[in-house]
């Protein structure tokens, strides 16, 4: 059982039951306006209308059917699909493959990408499996200091394409990615599609096992990440010849090459469900140079924006800097306690369950930023009961303020941070809690006084009255 926002207790459904219920509800929502139209048509006194002139009948039929179609088109479920189609225009786009196992603020480490060229009829993909070749050539005569959290881990290293997606706001990261891509590859692109690894794993469930005989492996949803990590970082370099070639991610290009044919066998509705879910959960992110399309993406919350709007706000973003492929091994519990109008305490509990292979055995070296409304005052931050307030870094982000600190967790253990703060006066009623792109859903509890007002997973951005 779980308590909903209205305080009523209700059943806790399994993921499969939730998916089934959502599909049924979506179908009902899409068909409802048309059913209304058909009921309207059924109530029309057709015998009397037949006596009207032909032109009169034609006018009534056109008006009735037009009203039905308009009601359907303006329905949110339908209009979202139409707007998504409107975003697809000819051009060249960078599809950033973001590895959430090495979490970054805008979804994950940019280990590889593809350039998608759409000519209005078909899409062709050019997969780049080794960013470091262009990066190293760029770094030979350029130096751009890393932001402070990264510089702490890799002192003296320069910024380049591989670390360009460090901003929490995806548009900012996408602009940085495009800027470095143009500097390193000499081409200006039309936008960025950020794709985290989480929907890719779900896509593998839909297409089934993919055999890659040239790599002596069959990829499935269950073995996808650990197999790729081993093939790319261990097995490939076991052959001395490969060290000279230095293209360990060719397995990704071979996988992508098989996907168009495999996707033809997947039901279109299943693909649409996955796309819609990925957009909502911020595992699929969009950025366009074209301001009209970018505004449309932002209006539907498909652009991964930090959106302070003058009311109470909270977002917790994590960055794995030097912590291996451990991010998906860490589960998180968030508790927000509200004391009166302005006093708040946030408790972040992170549990590292890795340690079963060489990729997850290390510590989850994690830099955490807590985003609050501009003007919020930090009272105290403790980790494992130790006061670290003096080490916290404050930054402005438009109408928001962030407080950053290291929150590292060892394998087979938990770490707890408590953040106490005071909200500014004059905020509008309501609370927005935003989910980080690429992050596994955290368990969230919101407590007001002695009452639990929310207790469930943070799967997507939430709005409270």
Phi and psi at 112, nearest 5°, equal -160, 170
Q: What is the pLDDT of residue 131?
A: 87
Mean per-residue pLDDT, 378-398: 95
Number of CB atoms found within 10 A of residue 109's CB: 23
CB neighbour list of residue 61: distance below 8 Å, 6 or more residues apart: none
Distance CA 419, CA 256 (A): 43
Q: How confident is the model at residue 372 (pLDDT cuts 50, 70, 90)?
A: very high
Mean per-residue pLDDT, 93-118: 92
Q: What is the dihedral of CA 153, 154, 159, 164, to 10 degrees?
A: -40
Q: In what order do the strands lie in the sheet with 451-458?
A: 386-387, 377-383, 413-422, 343-352, 330-339, 442-448, 451-458
Q: Specify which residues 344 forms β-bridges with.
A: 338, 421
Q: What is the pLDDT of residue 202?
A: 92
Distance CA 254, CA 261 (A): 13
- As a three-state string, the secondary structure of 152-219 is HHCCCCECCHHHCCCCCCHHHHHHHHHHHHHHHHCCCCCEEEEEEHHHHHHHHHHHCCEEEHHHCEEE
Q: Specify which residues 93 forms β-bridges with.
A: 116, 191
Q: Which of 454, 460, 463 is nearest to 3 (CA)?
A: 454
Q: pLDDT tens digits, residue range 444-464?
A: 999 998 899 999 999 999 999
Mean per-residue pLDDT, 250-272: 87
Q: What is the pLDDT of residue 277?
A: 92
Distance CA 247, CA 251 (A): 9
Q: Which domains does the chain have, with CATH numbers?
A: 2-74 (no CATH), 88-299 (3.40.630), 311-464 (2.60.40.1170)
More confident residue, 107 or 13: 107
Strands (DSSP E) contained in 353-441 are: 366-373, 377-383, 386-387, 393-397, 400-406, 413-422, 428-434
Distance CA 151, CA 145 (A): 8
Distance CA 105, CA 168 (A): 5
Alpha-carbon separation of residue 304 from 15, 136, 282, 442 (angstroms): 24, 29, 7, 17
Highest mean pLDDT among 15-19, 176-180, 232-236, 243-247: 176-180
Q: What is the pLDDT of residue 239?
A: 74
Does residue 177 register a pLDDT over 80?
yes
Distance CA 143, CA 157 (A): 8
CB neighbour list of residue 151: distance below 8 Å, 6 or more residues apart: 145, 157
pTM for the structure as a whole: 0.81
Q: pLDDT tens digits, residue range 17-75?
A: 555 555 555 545 544 444 444 444 444 444 443 444 444 444 444 444 444 343 433 44
How many CA atoms are closer than 13 Å to the CA of 378, on its beta-carbon side? Answer: 23
Structure tokens at 392: 């916290």
Mean per-residue pLDDT, 98-104: 94
Q: Per mean pLDDT, which range of 10-24, 252-266, 269-283 is the poorest?
A: 10-24
Distance CA 183, CA 179 (A): 6
Structure tokens at 260: 């168009």
* C-beta separation of 332 from 353 below 8 A: no
Q: Which of 322, 212, 216 is nearest to 257 (CA)?
A: 212
Quick one: how many helices (H) and strands (E) in the chain?
Answer: 13, 22
Structure tokens at 298: 């932002």
Q: 285: buried, middle or exposed (CB in 10 Å: 19+, 13-18, 0-12)?
A: buried
Distance CA 312, CA 164 (A): 30
Q: What is the pLDDT of residue 11?
A: 45
Q: pLDDT tens digits, residue range 345-358?
A: 999 999 999 877 77
Q: pLDDT tens digits, residue range 411-428?
A: 999 999 999 999 999 999
Structure tokens at 297: 């993406």
Does residue 261 register a pLDDT over 70?
yes
CB neighbour list of residue 45: distance below 8 Å, 6 or more residues apart: none
* C-beta separation of 406 from 368 below 8 A: yes
Q: Which residues of 292-324 are buried (b: 16+ CB within 10 A; e: fewer)?
A: ebbebbbebebbbbbbbeeebbbbbbbbbbebb
Percent of the chain past pLDDT 70, that is, above it, reads 81
Q: What is the dihedral of CA 396, 280, 1, 445, to 10 degrees?
A: 0
Q: Which of 375, 409, 373, 404 is nearest to 389 (CA)?
A: 404
CB neighbour list of residue 439: distance below 8 Å, 6 or more residues apart: 100, 103, 318, 327, 332
Q: What is the pLDDT of residue 81?
A: 67
Q: Which residues of 339-368 are buried (b: 16+ CB within 10 A; e: fewer)?
A: eeeeebbbbbbbbbbbeeeebbebbbbbbb
């Amino acid at each position: 059982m779980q308590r909903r926002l209205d305080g009523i207790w209700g059943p806790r459904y399994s993921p499969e039951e939730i998916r089934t219920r959502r599909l049924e509800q979506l179908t009902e929502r899409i068909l409802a306006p048309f059913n209304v139209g058909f009921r309207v048509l059924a109530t029309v006194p057709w015998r009397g209308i037949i006596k009207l002139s032909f032109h009169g009948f034609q006018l009534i039929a056109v008006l009735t059917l037009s009203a039905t179609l308009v009601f359907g088109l303006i329905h949110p479920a339908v209009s979202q699909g139409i707007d998504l189609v409107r975003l697809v225009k000819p051009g060249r786009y960078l599809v950033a493959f973001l590895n959430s196992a090495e979490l970054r603020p805008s979804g994950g480490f940019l280990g590889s990408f593809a350039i998608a060229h759409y000519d209005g009829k078909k899409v062709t993909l050019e997969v780049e499996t080794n960013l470091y070749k262009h990066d190293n050539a760029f770094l030979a005569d350029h130096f751009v200091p890393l932001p402070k959290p990264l510089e702490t881990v890799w002192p003296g290293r320069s910024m380049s394409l591989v670390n360009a997606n460090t901003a929490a706001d995806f548009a900012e990261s996408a602009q940085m990615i495009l800027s470095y891509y143009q500097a390193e590859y000499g081409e200006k692109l039309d936008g960025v599609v950020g794709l985290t690894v989480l929907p890719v794993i779900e896509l593998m469930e839909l297409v089934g096992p993919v055999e890659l005989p040239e790599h002596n492996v069959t990829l499935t949803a269950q073995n996808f990440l650990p197999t790729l990590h081993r093939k790319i970082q261990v097995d490939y370099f076991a052959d001395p010849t490969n060290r000279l070639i230095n293209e360990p991610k060719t397995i990704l290009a071979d996988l992508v090459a098989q996907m168009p044919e495999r996707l033809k066998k997947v039901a279109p509705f299943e693909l649409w469900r996955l796309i819609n879910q990925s957009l909502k959960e911020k595992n699929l992110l969009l950025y366009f140079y074209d301001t009209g399309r970018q505004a449309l993406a932002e209006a539907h919350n498909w652009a991964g924006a930090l959106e302070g709007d003058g009311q109470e706000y909270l977002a917790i973003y994590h960055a794995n800097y030097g912590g291996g492929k451990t991010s998906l091994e860490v589960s998180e519990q968030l508790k927000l306690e509200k004391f009166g109008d302005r006093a708040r305490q946030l408790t972040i509990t992170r549990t590292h369950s890795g340690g079963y292979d060489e990729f997850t055995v290390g510590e989850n070296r994690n830099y955490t930023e807590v985003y609050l409304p501009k003007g919020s005052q930090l009272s105290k931050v403790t980790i494992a009961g130790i006061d670290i307030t003096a080490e916290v870094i404050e930054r402005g982000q438009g109408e928001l303020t962030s407080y950053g600190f290291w929150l590292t967790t060892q394998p087979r253990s938990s770490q707890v941070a408590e953040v106490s703060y005071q909200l500014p006066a004059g905020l509008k009623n309501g609370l927005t809690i935003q989910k980080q792109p690429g992050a596994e859903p955290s368990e969230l509890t919101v407590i007001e006084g002695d009452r639990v007002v929310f207790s469930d997973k943070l799967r997507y951005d939430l709005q409270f009255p």
